[in-house]
């Protein structure tokens, strides 16, 4: 490990000094292409370019064009291309790329070097595609499992998140590609993401939410920051001078490009003065129309506009983009080297949460048949939805991974076990009247978003399926055709219109009992809701609480009125759909039969790009039918192993005691199924640790009561303050199901010989880690600091260091973890600085946040206690 660190340090140094002196380390390109510090010469060059630009040209320049900073051929400026992000290069043209384990999985590896390798791999893929800016990493803190984008982020702890952020950006930028750390900041949920106002107190901001961004700027020297959609403490981030100017630029010294999230700018003048450099994806607000008069009237100075252009061009100069072609022809479009990195990221991300009776790893000699079931078993689900939906060249599903593992030693059977939502929708039969109507539902389409006036069209359709809307109703309705003619088309050619739709039908329940109803909503911009017998049962109208919600209801026999409503901003159809099934029928009879006969059953459940995605949150409960599937499999086969694909915790209370083994697999990228199969059969010993606490029930989460705004307010009050994640569970004395930092291995480890040495306001913590079992494996040594003497209330403990240690059976390694002076500090709001209160600090070392094995202490003396530097 020591050598690893030296290696990393040396590489960083090479990246920053260039390759002249150390040619050998620079690989095939013969030249380090990471960013270099700004120089006088660069400044002079850039100012020379700015001097040649007209004010109009400069204003145009700070509005993007799709996924690029525009080219200015007259001045020889190329376009600077961008790509999502964050776990592969996501081309808008749909060209695939290597897809790595998504953020939360990468955080679960607790492997900084791996984060750096992933960053570098993506950087190389970006270079092969001529991309200058990668739109990642996403580093927003995990407050609640409901956030639809947790899968992109690095979990609940700011120290772990900062470490992964630093590694990822360092690796990427070394390849000459700017990372874009996002979403700055307070963007910790996806409902109402354009309008919600995150109300966060200063200490919480500093100690929790700003940390990964601060690391990105100060440690990794990130080239770009993306301002998020939401407001924080009353102002939209794209016009929030406090965060953009005071904190990022002045305090942290950020000298890169501050760009907006896509359509996250709401006021051109305010954004211009609020330190936004680049409006994406186009200058909808920061444009000539708003800024020319503003410059003329003195509301915005021309120097302010110049500074934005300067930031963009200086970043380009520092990364060498003004002097080289960003497309690196020495790198293959499919860089096979990266496949190994993608596989490693998936392998190390898997967290083994439960393994009763050592049911895992499966023994090939005794396991002759494995049944794999569930929606995530096949095809593979490499990543969640939204802009992070990278398209891999290939994906190894769990079914394929298991098949490859078993080889000729046994057979792998597959059955999905539960219907797809589309199947459910098609199989759900409605009638237009409680009795005597015709088959189907009535669809009414309104030319507004509030169902006012008479519908433009009314028709009978077979199912509640938004996609069926266009063809059937447009052609039938002259009023709709008229609406279509009158509406604007946006750049994509989509017809933009205000449309509200209502489906009304009757579902005839054959026999009283429990029924599952599942809804697919359209997420942001397309709210939906469902009523049963005029009672609202699923409500994603003002807050998209879950993109794919479901409910279980007791229904009496006979007809029940079902109404689904949605609104659309376009005449493109939309995703809204709804299906109903009797609870006892949701799991197929066939799969139950098969389960009873197999030697083991692997249930691969969780979410996918339709149910966990940006633009809306997700359910805490697994998607419809999945808990029932686990229950049915566990009833049929004692060796039922559950693997969950998700961006965070899920409700498990219903089934956790019925199954002997449980693995959190996150979104494993293209190699996810292979890695999971290797873990199941013991070819890989799991070493992942939870980057977020897994609560026993939803209400236990420290944000549960204040996750949503109250009433009509847009304010999301972060009332839990610094007590987010394990800090909150410990503070509230709530025992989680699985604590932060937890994860099992197929071997056992022991920590011993703790020694702590203070060095001013810093300390070194050293100890031994021994593999006491019979298999090689890796353990994460987690170092927590506690402070019970400070004047302010502090968390019971906070992660301040960690080291991943790989050990052969019986092997012991001595580990040293350096704690910087931020390790002992809290943010003093009155003094506006980090503060260490001298005295004795507890040092706790172990393999999770709960009950660390080693306990020691360190005295930080008054002389040393004024620091707190990062």
User: Would you tell me which residues interact with ligand BGC (CB under 6 A)?
Assistant: 84-85, 135, 182, 261-262, 387, 614
Which residue bears the tokens 């709709």? 480
Minimum gap (Å) between residue 492 Cβ and ligand BGC:
13
Minimum gap (Å) between residue 90 Cβ and ligand BGC:
8
Nearest one of 446, 291, 350, 386 to 661, comparing CA atoms = 350
| Alpha carbons 222 and 172: distance in angstroms, whole number | 10
| Pairing status of strand 558-570 against strand 197-199 | unpaired
Minimum gap (Å) between residue 222 Cβ and ligand BGC:
15
Catalytic site residue 608? no
Compare residues 148 and 741 and give the one whose CB is closer to ligand BGC: 148
Judge residue 251's burial from the number of C-beta atoms within 10 Å of its C-beta, 0-12 exposed, 13-18 middle, 19 or more buried. Answer: middle
Minimum gap (Å) between residue 353 Cβ and ligand BGC:
29
Inter-residue contact 864 to 757 (CB < 8 Å): no
Pseudo-torsion of CA 570, 573, 575, 579, nearest 10°? 140
712: left (phi over 0), alpha (psi -120 to 50) or beta: alpha
Contacts of 216 (CB under 8 A, 6+ apart): 137, 139, 165, 166, 169, 179, 181, 222, 225
Q: What does the block give as tokens for 99?
A: 């897809």
Compare residues 182 and 577 and give the one whose CB is closer to ligand BGC: 182
Minimum gap (Å) between residue 407 Cβ and ligand BGC:
41
Compare residues 61 and 262 and give the one whose CB is closer to ligand BGC: 262
Compare residues 262 and 607 and give the one whose CB is closer to ligand BGC: 262
| Alpha carbons 449 and 574: distance in angstroms, whole number | 14
Minimum gap (Å) between residue 134 Cβ and ligand BGC:
9
| Alpha carbons 297 and 306: distance in angstroms, whole number | 17
Question: Residue 472 has what DSSP assignment?
Answer: I
Inter-residue contact 501 to 568 (CB < 8 Å): yes
Judge residue 136's burial from the number of C-beta atoms within 10 Å of its C-beta, 0-12 exposed, 13-18 middle, 19 or more buried. Answer: buried
C-alpha triplet 199, 204, 205: angle, nearest 5°: 70
Compare residues 84 and 400 and give the one whose CB is closer to ligand BGC: 84
Q: What does the block give as tokens for 592?
A: 């139950």
Compare residues 387 and 747 and give the one whose CB is closer to ligand BGC: 387
Compare residues 107 and 632 and give the one whose CB is closer to ligand BGC: 107
Minimum gap (Å) between residue 264 Cβ and ligand BGC:
8
What Cα–Cα distance (Å) separates residue 106 from each residue in 103, 160, 659, 820? 5, 11, 26, 24
Query: For residue 255, how many C-alpha atoms fall within 13 Å in the half-sphere facing its CB?
Result: 17
Contacts of 682 (CB under 8 A, 6+ apart): 360, 361, 362, 746, 775
Minimum gap (Å) between residue 82 Cβ and ligand BGC:
8
Minimum gap (Å) between residue 107 Cβ and ligand BGC:
17
Where helices occur in 414-510 by DSSP H, the ranges are 421-427, 469, 475-476, 478-486
Contacts of 507 (CB under 8 A, 6+ apart): 428, 429, 430, 559, 560, 562, 580
Q: How many CB atoms lie within 10 A of CB 28?
A: 8
Q: What does the block give as tokens for 629?
A: 């599937």
Inter-residue contact 780 to 803 (CB < 8 Å): yes
Annotated catalytic residue, options 125, 261, 328, 465: 261
Minimum gap (Å) between residue 183 Cβ and ligand BGC:
6
Minimum gap (Å) between residue 85 Cβ and ligand BGC:
6
Minimum gap (Å) between residue 67 Cβ and ligand BGC:
7
Residue 211 parent element (H or E) = helix 211-218
Compare residues 67 and 666 and give the one whose CB is closer to ligand BGC: 67
| Pairing status of strand 661-664 against strand 640-645 | parallel
Nearest one of 858, 688, 849, 694 to 783, comparing CA atoms = 849
Compare residues 83 and 849 and give the one whose CB is closer to ligand BGC: 83
Compare residues 187 and 771 and give the one whose CB is closer to ligand BGC: 187
Q: How many CB atoms lie within 10 A of CB 94?
A: 7
Question: Residue 709 has what DSSP assignment?
Answer: P
Distance of CA 645 to the CA centre of its chain: 13
Compare residues 616 and 846 and give the one whose CB is closer to ligand BGC: 616
Judge residue 491's burial from the number of C-beta atoms within 10 Å of its C-beta, 0-12 exposed, 13-18 middle, 19 or more buried. Answer: exposed
Compare residues 521 and 852 and give the one whose CB is closer to ligand BGC: 521
| Residues known to be catalytic | 261
């Amino acid at each position: 490990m020591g050598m690893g660190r030296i290696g990393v340090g040396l590489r960083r140094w090479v990246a920053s000094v260039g390759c002249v002196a150390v040619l050998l380390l620079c690989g095939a390109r013969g030249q380090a292409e990471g960013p270099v510090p700004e120089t006088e010469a660069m400044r002079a060059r850039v100012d020379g370019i700015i001097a040649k630009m007209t004010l109009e040209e400069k204003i145009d320049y700070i509005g993007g064009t799709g996924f690029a900073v525009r080219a200015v051929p007259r001045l020889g400026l190329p376009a600077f291309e961008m790509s999502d992000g964050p776990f592969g290069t996501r081309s808008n043209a749909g060209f695939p790329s290597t897809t790595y384990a998504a953020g939360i999985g990468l955080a679960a590896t607790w492997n900084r070097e791996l984060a750096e390798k992933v960053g570098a791999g993506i950087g190389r893929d970006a270079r092969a595609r001529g991309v200058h800016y990668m739109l990642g990493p996403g580093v927003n803190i995990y407050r609640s499992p409901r956030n639809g984008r947790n899968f992109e982020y690095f979990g609940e702890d700011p120290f772990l998140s900062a470490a992964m952020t630093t590694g990822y950006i360092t690796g990427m930028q070394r390849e000459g590609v700017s990372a874009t750390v996002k979403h700055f900041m307070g963007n910790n949920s996806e409902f109402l993401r354009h309008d919600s106002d995150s109300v966060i107190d200063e200490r919480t901001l500093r100690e929790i939410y700003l940390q990964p961004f601060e690391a990105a700027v100060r440690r990794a020297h990130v080239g770009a920051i993306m301002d998020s959609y939401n407001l924080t403490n009353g102002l939209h981030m794209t016009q929030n001078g406090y965060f953009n100017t005071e904190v990022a630029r002045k305090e942290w010294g950020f000298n890169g490009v501050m760009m907006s999230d896509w359509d996250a700018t709401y006021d051109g003048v305010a954004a211009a003065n609020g330190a936004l450099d680049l409006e994406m994806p186009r200058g909808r607000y920061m444009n000539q129309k708003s800024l020319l008069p503003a410059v003329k009237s003195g509301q915005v100075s021309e120097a302010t506009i110049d500074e934005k252009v300067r930031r963009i061009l200086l970043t380009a100069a520092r990364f060498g983009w003004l002097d080289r072609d960003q497309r690196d022809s020495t790198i293959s479009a499919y860089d096979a080297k990266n496949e190994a990195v993608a596989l490693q990221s998936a392998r190390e991300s898997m967290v083994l949460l439960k393994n009763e009776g050592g049911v895992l790893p499966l023994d090939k000699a005794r396991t002759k048949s494995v049944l794999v079931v569930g929606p995530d078993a096949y095809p593979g689900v490499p990543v969640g939805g939204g802009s992070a939906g990278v398209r891999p060249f290939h994906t190894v599903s769990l079914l394929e991974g298991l098949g490859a593992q078993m080889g000729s030693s046994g057979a792998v059977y597959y059955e999905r076990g539960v219907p797809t939502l589309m199947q459910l929708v098609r199989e759900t039969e409605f009638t237009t009247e409680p009795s005597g109507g015709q088959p189907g539902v009535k669809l009414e389409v309104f030319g507004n978003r509030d169902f006012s006036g008479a519908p433009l069209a009314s028709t009978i359709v077979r199912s509640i399926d938004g996609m069926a809307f266009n063809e059937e109703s447009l052609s039938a309705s002259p009023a709709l055709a008229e609406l279509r003619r009158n509406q604007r088309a946006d750049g994509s050619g989509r017809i933009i219109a205000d449309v509200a739709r209502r489906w009304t039908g009757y579902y005839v329940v054959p026999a009283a009992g429990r029924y599952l109803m599942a809804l697919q909503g359209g997420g942001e911009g397309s709210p939906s809701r469902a009523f049963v017998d005029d009672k609202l049962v699923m409500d994603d109208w003002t807050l998209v609480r879950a993109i794919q919600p479901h409910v279980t209801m007791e229904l009496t026999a006979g007809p029940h009125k079902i109404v689904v409503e949605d609104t659309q901003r376009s005449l493109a159809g939309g995703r809204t759909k709804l299906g109903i099934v009797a609870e006892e029928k949701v799991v197929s009879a066939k799969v139950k039969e098969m389960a009873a006969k197999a030697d083991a059953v692997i249930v691969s459940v969780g979410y996918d790009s339709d149910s966990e995605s940006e633009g809306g949150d997700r359910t805490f409960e697994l998607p419809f039918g999945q808990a029932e599937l686990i229950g049915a499999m566990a009833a049929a086969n004692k060796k039922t192993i559950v693997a969950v694909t998700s961006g965070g915790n899920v409700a498990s209370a219903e089934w956790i005691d019925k199954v002997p083994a449980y693995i959190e697999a996150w979104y494993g990228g293209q190699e996810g199924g292979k890695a999971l199969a290797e873990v199941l059969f013991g070819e890989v010993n799991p070493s992942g640790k939870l980057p977020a606490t897994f609560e026993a029930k939803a209400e236990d989460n420290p944000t549960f009561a204040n996750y949503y705004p109250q009433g009509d307010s847009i304010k999301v009050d972060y009332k839990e303050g610094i007590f987010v994640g394990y800090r909150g569970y410990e503070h509230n004395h709530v025992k989680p199901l699985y604590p932060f930092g937890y994860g099992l291995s197929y071997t056992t480890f022991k920590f011993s010989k703790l020694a702590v040495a203070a060095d001013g306001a810093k300390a070194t913590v050293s100890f031994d880690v021994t593999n006491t079992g019979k298999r090689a494996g890796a353990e994460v040594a987690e170092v927590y600091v506690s402070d019970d003497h400070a004047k302010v209330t502090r968390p019971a403990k906070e992660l301040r260091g960690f080291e991943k240690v790989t050990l052969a059976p019986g092997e012991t390694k001595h580990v040293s973890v350096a704690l910087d002076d931020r390790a002992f500090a809290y943010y003093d709001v009155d003094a506006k600085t980090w503060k260490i209160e001298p005295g004795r600090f507890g040092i706790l070392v172990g393999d999770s946040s709960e009950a660390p094995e080693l306990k020691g202490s360190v005295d930080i003396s008054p002389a040393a206690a004024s620091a707190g530097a990062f």
